[in-house]
Amino acid sequence: DGGITQSPKYLFRKEGQNVTLSCEQNLNHDAMYWYRQDPGQGLRLIYYSQIVNDFQKGDIAEGYSVSREKKESFPLTVTSAQKNPTAFYLCASTKTAGRGGELFFGEGSRLTVL
Amino acid sequence: GEDVEQSLFLSVREGDSSVINCTYTDSSSTYLYWYKQEPGAGLQLLTYIFSNMDMKQDQRLTVLLNKKDKHLSLRIADTQTGDSAIYFCAESTEGTYKYIFGTGTRLKVLA
């Protein structure tokens, strides 16, 4: 079955460490997104990519980095510069950005900074 | 900028109807969506409506759109305990990459 796989589901990090969250999709979608979810704040866009080898900052990109070397993969690195990284991170994809198609989501990764 | 607002909580009794409301600010919105999130999971699309429609019905779900007031609602008939979840309203505009999500409404269904 096609879908989006995020790993790990739970991750603990010490302050000052970088961590990378994996996102893989086998839906043949061109566009991929990373969102951060905090209680009572909805989903906030971190980065998005409309096509391989291209990505753009979203509303809260500071302290995060991404890459899009393959169509299927869009990993997110949470760097030590991110001041409050504890959150639930969601990866999503859609066939083509701007066409209003369904946004498919992974199951999320919960990051806790100790 | 664009904004989507929802109330944070709603509690209903099993068997009653639930109505979750949403307001948005972007008059150029083309598509409006309702997503459901179960605890500790990702979001799943429940239904969507084009901005040129007033209503859409899908089994127990009814979506109403008042474009003049920029108001969207989701009615769940015969609400069950399995409907307990967070419901997100979202909008997007043709030709843009952005999907704007509301804060989510936590629906609690009491047995």
How many CB contacts within 8 angstroms connect chain A with chain B? 58
- For B34-91, the pLDDT digits (tens) are 999 999 899 999 999 998 999 999 999 999 999 999 999 999 999 999 999 999 999 9
d(CA B89, CA B8): 12
| B87 part of contact set with chain A, CB < 8 Å | no
Put simply, whether B29 touches A (Cβ < 8 Å) is: no
pLDDT class of A2 with cuts at 50, 70, 90: confident
CA-CA-CA-CA torsion for A98, A67, A59, B22, nearest 10 degrees?
50
Quote the mean pLDDT of chain A.
93
Residue B1: per-residue pLDDT: 66
- Interchain proximity A50–B31, CB inside 8 Å: no
Cβ pair B44:A105 closer than 8 A:
yes
Residue of B nearest to A106 (CA): B42
Asked if A92 contacts A107 with a C-beta cutoff of 8 angstroms, the reply is no
Measure the CA–CA gap between B96 and A56, rounded to whole angstroms: 13
Q: Measure the CA–CA gap between A110 and B3, rounded to whole angstroms.
A: 26
Residue B52: count other Cβ atoms within 10 Å of its Cβ: 8
Picking from B19, B42, B39, the residue whose alpha carbon sits closest to that of residue B101 is B42
Q: Is the pLDDT of residue A98 over 80?
A: no
Contact B27, B70 (CB under 8 A): yes
Three-state DSSP string of A1-63: CCCEEEECCEEEECCCCCEEEEEEECCCCCEEEEEEECCCCCEEEEEEEEECCEEEECCCCCC
List the 23-62 stretch of A: residues with Cβ below 8 A of B: 31, 33, 35, 40-43, 45, 48, 50, 56
Cα-based angle A28, B34, B5 (whole degrees, multiple of 5): 120
Compare all CA atoms of chain A with the CA of B47 and give the residue at the minimum distance: A102
Say if CB B52 and CB B38 are below 8 A apart. Answer: no
CA of B48 vs chain A CAs: smallest distance (Å): 9
* HSE toward the beta carbon, residue A79, CA cutoff 13 A: 8
Torsion on CA atoms A107, A113, B3, B8, rounded to nearest 10: 80
Assess B41–A contact: CB distance below 8 Å, yes or no: yes
φ/ψ bin of A45: left (φ > 0), alpha (ψ from -120 to 50), beta (otherwise): beta
